[in-house]
Amino acid sequence: MNPQVRSTTFEAVVETIRPPQGDGWDYLVIAAIFASILALAYAAFATPLLQPLVDIARRQHWTLLWVRPTVIWITMGMVLLFLRTVLWLLYRPFAPVRTEEAPSLTVVIPAYNESAMVEHAIASVVAAHYAHDRLQIIAVDDGSTDDTWHYIRSAALRFPGRVTPVRLPANLGKRGALAEGFRRASGEIIVTVDSDSVVERGRSSRSRARSATRASARSRARWRCTTAGRASFRGCST
């Protein structure tokens, strides 16, 4: 294995990608949480808010000491349950993504000594319910020593214009194969499928296109998949 090739391939992809910026709403929620903690601490130590509990403890009325906090916790739980119920009643699901609105999708399939199984994996992706003109499939032979490349080429000939075969001169490992696939990808969304896996028919349109309606899906999918270098992010692995 040539470490220089591996480093150059992976870093070339990472260099062009930057992590997504934090959402302003996230910062607001975090600030509100810390502000609430500070307010409670101030109320506990600088105001007589907890004085009734202190008096009960001094009088050794232990039953009341437990009852009052219990009543408070039950009341808070009921309020939370009420708010969750209201939100549940107000919730309206997003409309399903139509085929013509689906984003362009690139599926990267890294393979090493998988033989005929890689062709089954490619065929399952081709058969998935997704717009053909928006689907790019990149099959990467990671320097296999068996007939894996033969089956990748066979799949490319079997599905002309649908599959891009890539053969690495040496085994770079899964991360190197994925990085090479990411570098060649042209889709707005990038996902990976293991070469020994089969995608269920209809799975792509349900799970991929629907999640792609979120505004941050493109940047997060590209950045996390690339920097992680492996199928660890649920939005970019199968």
Domain range summary for the chain, segments of one domain joined by +: 27-90, 102-236
What pLDDT score does 8 carry? 40
What pLDDT score does 203 carry? 54
What pLDDT score does 158 carry? 92
Going by C-beta distance under 8 Å and a sequence separation of 6 or more, which residues neighbour residue 63?
none
Going by C-beta distance under 8 Å and a sequence separation of 6 or more, which residues neighbour residue 176?
5, 6, 9, 10, 142, 168
Question: Superfamily assignment of 102-236 in CATH?
Answer: Spore Coat Polysaccharide Biosynthesis Protein SpsA; Chain A (3.90.550.10)
Q: How far, in Å, CA of 6 to CA of 176, rounded?
A: 6
Q: Which of 131, 125, 106 is nearest to 185 (CA)?
A: 106
In the three-class reduction of DSSP (H, G, I as helix; E, B as strand; rest coil), residue 84 is classed as helix
What pLDDT score does 49 carry? 72
Q: How far, in Å, CA of 38 to CA of 138, rounded?
A: 52
Q: How far, in Å, CA of 157 to CA of 198, rounded?
A: 19
Q: What is the token pair recorded at 51?
A: 């004085």
What pLDDT score does 210 carry? 46
Using 50 as the pLDDT threshold, list the residues of the chain that sit under it.
Answer: 1-19, 205-206, 208-238
